[in-house]
Amino acid sequence: MSRKLVFAFHKIKSRMGVRALLAHNFRHENSKNVDTSKTKLNIYTKKRGRDIIRTMLDYQRNLKGHKPRKNAVWAHEYVISGSHSHMADMSRKECLQYFTDSINFFREMYGKESMLIPSVHFDEQTAHMHLIIQPMKDGKLNGKTFTGGSKHTMTQMRSTFQQKVAAKYGLVYGNQNCKATPQELSEHYEQVQEELPRLKAENRDLRHDLNRASRQLTDTVVELAGVRKELDDAIAQTKLLKRNINDLERLREKSHTLTRVQLDNAIQRLDEQEHRPAFRRH
């Protein structure tokens, strides 16, 4: 009987990617290999359950104002399980303890800053856990701090996980140079194949939304330019009116010393100033 450890890892490079994985993990979207009659056996966190919106809000709050770089890794996902025959021989209680120990392993590794989102599935052929982790270090997303930039680092992590966690449940890492059989990773591969079309569709929708937002921004800029011109004209008119008021005040003060002809001429000059061509309304 095969007792091989399943320890799959990949990076999630966008907010939408995190949400798409949650949709699968929380069973808002089921793949063909899911037995929906057993979905009620799945385990999620008590705080957030299967609520995607609440989970994403908690994810955002945990950033604490940090704005990720454009090329930032938004999350790490681990798929933890074992060979089908071995997992089938484990009781539900043993499986849950295995997954709990796995969560504790990653909690110690990533620290309290990082947010962990576990989902335990009993509704597929082999019991397994998806663990999405928001890799926070010193207040920033920094996945490289935990997984390094080489295959050797990930190989060492798998080995350490096997020794500290999986070994207690009879699972072995096996020959590091030996590729996993398609049967052992079939569920993970099927998930990837089923996720790709949806992710591509979401990418098209995002591009459409981006183009629409760009057009709206252009229209807004043009509209603001028009408003700015109207504001400048209004400011110029206000200055002219203030000048005319000052002239009228001076004229009123002098009116008792002016002849009727001089007063009429002064008023005519004010009228001409008020209707200068540059400030005429069309």
Bridge partners (DSSP) of residue 129 are 80, 120
Q: Where are the domains of the chain?
A: 5-184
Bridge partners (DSSP) of residue 134 are 115
Task: Report the half-sphere exposure of 205 (CA within 13 A, side-chain side).
Answer: 7
Residue 280's pLDDT band (cuts 50, 70, 90) = very low
pLDDT tens digits, 38-78 = 999 999 999 899 999 999 999 999 999 999 888 889 999 99
What is the pTM assigned to this prediction?
0.63
The more confident residue out of 7 and 271 is 7
pLDDT score for 279? 41
pLDDT score for 1? 59
Fold designation for 5-184: BirA Bifunctional Protein; domain 2 (3.30.930)
For every residue of 36-70, DSSP letters joined together read GGGGGG-EE-TTTTT-HHHHHHHHHHHTTT----T
Q: CA 260, CA 31: separation in Å to the nearest integer? A: 96
pLDDT tens digits, 82-137 = 999 999 999 999 999 999 999 999 999 999 999 999 999 999 999 999 999 999 99
- The number of beta carbons lying within 10 Å of the beta carbon of residue 254 is 12
Dihedral Cα 31, 33, 39, 42, nearest 10 deg: -90
How far is residue 224 CA from its own chain's centroid? 30
- The number of beta carbons lying within 10 Å of the beta carbon of residue 279 is 14
pLDDT score for 249? 77
Rounded percentage of the chain residues whose pLDDT exceeds 70: 82
Which of 4, 13, 72, 20 lies closest to 201, judged by CA? 20
pLDDT score for 187? 53
pLDDT score for 210? 79
Which of 130, 127, 115 lies closest to 24, judged by CA? 130
Q: CA 130, CA 268: separation in Å to the nearest integer? A: 86
Q: Residue 136: enclosing H or E segment and its boundaries? A: strand 136-137
pLDDT score for 282? 45
Q: CA 86, CA 2: separation in Å to the nearest integer? A: 7
Q: CA 17, CA 260: separation in Å to the nearest integer? A: 84
The residue whose two tokens read 């990837």 is 192
C-alpha torsion sign, points 199, 202, 203, 204? positive
pLDDT tens digits, 177-222 = 445 555 555 555 555 555 666 666 667 767 777 777 788 888 888 8
Cβ atoms of 74 and 144 closer than 8 Å? no
- 33-42, 128-137, 151-160, 259-268: which is most confident: 128-137
E-state strands within 203-274: none
**Sheet (strand 115-121) strand order:** 5-12, 75-82, 128-134, 115-121, 43-44
DSSP letter, residue 278: G
pLDDT score for 71? 85
6-10, 19-23, 37-41, 265-269: which has the minimum mean pLDDT?
265-269
The more confident residue out of 267 and 148 is 148
